[in-house]
Amino acid sequence: MNEVFQALSDPTRRRILLLLREGDMTAGEIADQFALSRSTLSGHFKVLKNAGLIVSERNRTSIVYSLNVSAVEELMAAVLEMFGTHGKRKSP
């Protein structure tokens, strides 16, 4: 879980996740959205993959990234459980 929170701590990585929420994208398509070097983005991809938030697949000469929806769902459930927000509201 620490790897997930570390991955989410960076605004660039959060933006990558938001882009992938809309659908699979190649590394080049993602890179076009940022004013960063490809090596810097590669580092961000590595952190997200190590945290299990994205998956990649080589498609000929491109790498296609996808959001790991089940990992994101598990994260959301863990956060809700951590803060005890299982639909209960505290009385004022």
The tens digit of pLDDT for each residue in 56-89 reads 999 899 999 999 988 888 888 888 888 876 555 5
Of 9 and 71, which is predicted with more confidence? Answer: 9
Architecture of domain 2-82: Orthogonal Bundle (1.10)
Q: Other C-beta atoms within 10 Å of 36: how many?
A: 13
DSSP states of 60-83 as a string?
TTEEEEEE-HHHHHHHHHHHHHHT
Domain chopping of the chain, boundaries: 2-82
The predicted structure's pLDDT at residue 62: 92
Residues 6+ apart with CB under 8 A from 63: 26, 27, 56, 57
